[in-house]
Chain A
Amino acid sequence: MNLSDRVRKGDIRAAAKLITMVENDFQHAQEILKELHQYCGKAIVVGITGPPGSGKSTITDRLTKHIRKMGKKVGIVAIDPSSPFTGGAILGDRIRMQDLSTDKEVFIRSIGTRGHLGGLSRSTQAIVKIMDAMGKDIIFIETVGVGQSEIEVIKVSDIILLVVMPGMGDDIQVIKAGIMEIGDIFVVNKSDRDGTDRLISEIEMMISLNGHKKRNPSIIKTVGTENLGIDRLWKEIERLVVILQENGEIYQRRRNRIKKEIYDLFLENWQELFLQFIGEDRLENEVERVLKQNSDPYFTAQELTKDFKVKFLKGGN
């Protein structure tokens, strides 16, 4: 049986190997992803994001346990930051998910960002597809602990949970654009702590000022470590998924996702072609010239584009 058939049968070892291939040598893995693509699209993808320490891993763990009781198969992509200096990473999300590791219907993969910004890794979308093709019903993407603008998770998820907690900072934090705008559900975790009511009223205030949105995000209180509010959170996810399916938002999100995916893959292919064309030596030469003020980056880029066009497009226009 070939690798893609084994993945489709839910073979964990095969899926794990394919993910490694996606991470290490994407060009080669693409050939297998091509075969798998037709079996994707059934899973609901839930993005779980929020600042460091807000409880994303614990919420992911509790939600997974909750829906395993309903027989749902779960995939989890847990992302942690790679060091920008060494490329190494400590991937520790499993610490909060220990009991899940021997459940055969839960597949967890920890990945490092490997230099990718935005809260995900470059391979996230392909990993989601592999889990989808394995037959998972629900796929959780747990992002790195985010600050205020790592919102890329919106591009790969059907629905987004934003996990926050009391004591994150004064109310100004709540109105910052970016991260606070992407949640379909605000999960106010650690809600047994002081400041919960204040945080909720601040979020409500922010939501009430959202003129441009068709639908306002909901707010659910949880205490992940005590398993409180998890059932309500899941019910809210299910309710929202139905609404988003009926009003066409999930369709629209998936449309945007495919557009972005094609664009990114196209760009990546061209980028590689361009790097081959220009060559290491010429690139270094041009850098040197700019450094010595013999040229500028704008002119250099224009010239390179011109040469590139001459070579690959007829006429050079």
Chain B
Amino acid sequence: MKNSRIRVLVAKPGLDGHDRGAKVIARALRDAGMEVIYTGLRQTPEQIAETAIQEDVNVIGLSILSGAHMHLFPKILKLLAERDASDILVIAGGIFPREDIVELKKIGIKEIFTPGTDTNEIVKFIRANVNLP
């Protein structure tokens, strides 16, 4: 009997003080039938990578508002690569200057969602890009 579910880690790296956006996303993904691991505020790149591995997630959704993404995201991707976990789909949501979006996609963030994105779009993107066995 197969009973697969898409597992998503919704993480807030850095020093942001609120997580309403992350919670809205977590809720939307849950309603789409996914298992969402939510870890709360102020996560270090090490915590995020290690949690993703222990939980064996298919997707990491990074939510960030502080502007520290160019500093934090590459670290997370590097840690995942070191652990042989680059197969995890990493996406991000929050506020980003346009030039940073180009750069982040180059280094391996698969998609970036900015304020105002319909949550259905995020669900669709995940479903289209995750292959469940």
Tell me the A residues contacting B by CB distance below 8 Å.
12-13, 16-17, 19-20, 23-27, 82-83, 86-92, 94-95, 98, 101-102, 107-110, 112, 114, 272
Top-3 shortest CB links A-B: A88-B30, A95-B40, A16-B56
What would be 17 A-B contacts, judged by CB atoms less than 8 Å apart? Answer: A24-B2, A24-B4, A26-B1, A86-B30, A87-B33, A88-B36, A89-B30, A89-B35, A91-B37, A92-B37, A94-B38, A94-B39, A95-B39, A98-B42, A102-B50, A110-B37, A112-B35
In the complex where A88-B29, A102-B50 touch, is A24 in contact with B3 (Cβ < 8 A)? yes
Asked whether, in the complex, the Cβ of A90 is within 8 Å of the Cβ of B27, the reply is yes
Bound-state Cα–Cα, A201 to B1, Å:
48
Cβ contacts under 8 Å, B84 to chain A: 13
B56 partner, pick from A19, A90, A101, beta carbons under 8 A? A19
In the complex where A19-B56, A88-B33 touch, is A112 in contact with B50 (Cβ < 8 A)? no
Besides A25-B4, A88-B34, A90-B36, 14 other CB < 8 A contacts? A24-B132, A24-B133, A26-B1, A88-B5, A88-B30, A88-B31, A89-B30, A89-B36, A91-B38, A92-B37, A98-B43, A102-B50, A109-B54, A110-B37
Bound-state Cα–Cα, A75 to B40, Å:
21
Cβ contacts under 8 Å, B47 to chain A: 98, 101-102
Query: Does residue B119 face the partner (Cβ distance < 8 Å to A)?
Result: no
Asked whether, in the complex, the Cβ of B54 is within 8 Å of the Cβ of A16, the reply is yes
Chain A nearest Cβ from B16, distance in angstroms: 15
Asked whether, in the complex, the Cβ of A16 is within 8 Å of the Cβ of B55, the reply is yes
Chain A nearest Cβ from B86, distance in angstroms: 12
Residues 42-70 of B at the A interface (beta carbon under 8 Å): 42-44, 46-47, 50-51, 53-56
In the complex where A16-B56, A20-B56, A24-B133 touch, is A87 in contact with B83 (Cβ < 8 A)? no
Chain A nearest Cβ from B128, distance in angstroms: 18
